[in-house]
Structure 1
Amino acid sequence: MELTLTGKIWKFPDDVDTDTIIPGKRGTLPTIEEMGAYCFEHLRPEFASSVKPGDILVGGKNFGCGSSREQAPACIAVHGVKCIIAKSFARIFFRNAFNSGIVLIECDGIQENCEEGDIVTVEVNKAVTVNGKSYPISQIPDNLLEIVKDGGLLEHCKKINKSKEV
């Protein structure tokens, strides 16, 4: 699957945990859309009101650490963010993000060579390019890219089940 994403960078530090993405007290709100209004409320209070569909997050090491809170990537996805690039991701966040329709790219090096607001281009399974410099990235399995293409795991499962109907 060929996929290219281009967007404005929102830059984040190392060790952004799921409670920073969406505080636990906000997890009782009835919908992901309502929770999304509080995304990064303590770290980046302007995020929910300023992020635009297609923007791309760039983080450091261990992005998404903490609890297995699946609402964390869902609260990011509800804003139209389709990609997060980081040095590394917490494993449970990694899978939850793909299930929410977000492509995660592990890439070390761009963090020191980009600033908030720069434009980054991601050629999935090829490279990340920012400020005229390209960085190689590892391969993402086709099954995860299919989930993203379908809009997340729920929509992917609906598509599979619909194709099995006679």
Structure 2
Amino acid sequence: MVFKGKAHLFGDHINTDDIIAGKYKHESIDPAVLVKHIMENIRPGFYNDINTGDFIVAGVNFGCGSSREQAPIIIKQAGITAVLAKSFARIFYRNAINIGLLLITCDTAKIREHDEVIYDPNNRQLAVPERDICISTPLLPKEIIEISRNGGLLEFIKRNGGFYA
């Protein structure tokens, strides 16, 4: 399966409160309500710029801060295919796996805002064809791909009768 979408650039150290401000959790924990506020502290109106299949592209330490599990949930709810970053905060990485959001660690320096990005996990390639850019990505473990395809860890376990069926 190959993924294609538009790049939305963010910088280094994007924390979970940047992804979804804690003030909204007092009003609702429903992802369908919270998603409208995605990244609004650093990019007001970002929700209206997203199309299903797009990518968030960032620098180092994406998802730092609290262990707020709503952060990766909101990103997935927004229809983002994957987050591409130079590195991820460990708890964010784990929460993303649990809900089936793909995270790809790679060099994001050459990707620009609104570039058309193509990600081929089988060939471990990220491409920006308009600018003839090809970036190698790590091989994602088949378990992570399957968890993502199943909609998260709990859905994977329900459908497969355990982690290893």
> With structure 1 as the length reference, what TM-score do the two structures score?
0.89
Determine whether 1:9 maps to 2:22.
Answer: no
Q: Distance in 2 between matches of 1:46 and 1:31?
A: 19
Residue identity opposite 1:122 in structure 2: Y
Q: Distance in 2 between matches of 1:74 and 1:30?
A: 11
Residue identity opposite 1:84 in structure 2: V
Which residue of structure 1 aligns with residue 136 of structure 2? Answer: 136
| Structure-2 change in CA distance of 1:146 and 1:46 (3 Å) | same
Q: Distance in 1 between matches of 2:97 and 2:43?
A: 23
Which residue of structure 2 aligns with residue 114 of structure 1? Answer: 111
3-state SS in 1 of match to 2:134: strand
Which residue of structure 1 aligns with residue 72 of structure 2? Answer: 73
3-state SS in 2 of match to 1:37: helix
* TM-superposed deviation, 1:10: 0.3
* TM-superposed deviation, 1:98: 2.2
Which residue of structure 2 aligns with residue 92 of structure 1? Answer: 91
Residue identity opposite 1:107 in structure 2: C
Q: Distance in 2 between matches of 1:160 and 1:142?
A: 14
- The structure 1 segments of at least 4 consecutive aligned residues displaced by more than 6 Å after TM superposition are none
Residue identity opposite 2:6 in structure 1: K
Which residue of structure 2 aligns with residue 23 of structure 1? Answer: 21
RMSD: 1.5
Q: Distance in 1 between matches of 2:45 and 2:151?
A: 26
Q: Distance in 2 between matches of 1:106 and 1:37?
A: 26
Contact 1:18/1:67, CA 8 A, preserved across alignment: yes
Which residue of structure 2 aligns with residue 124 of structure 1? Answer: 121
1:128-153 CA-to-partner distances (Å, cap 9, x unmatched) read 11221111111211111111011122
Contact 1:82/1:101, CA 8 A, preserved across alignment: no
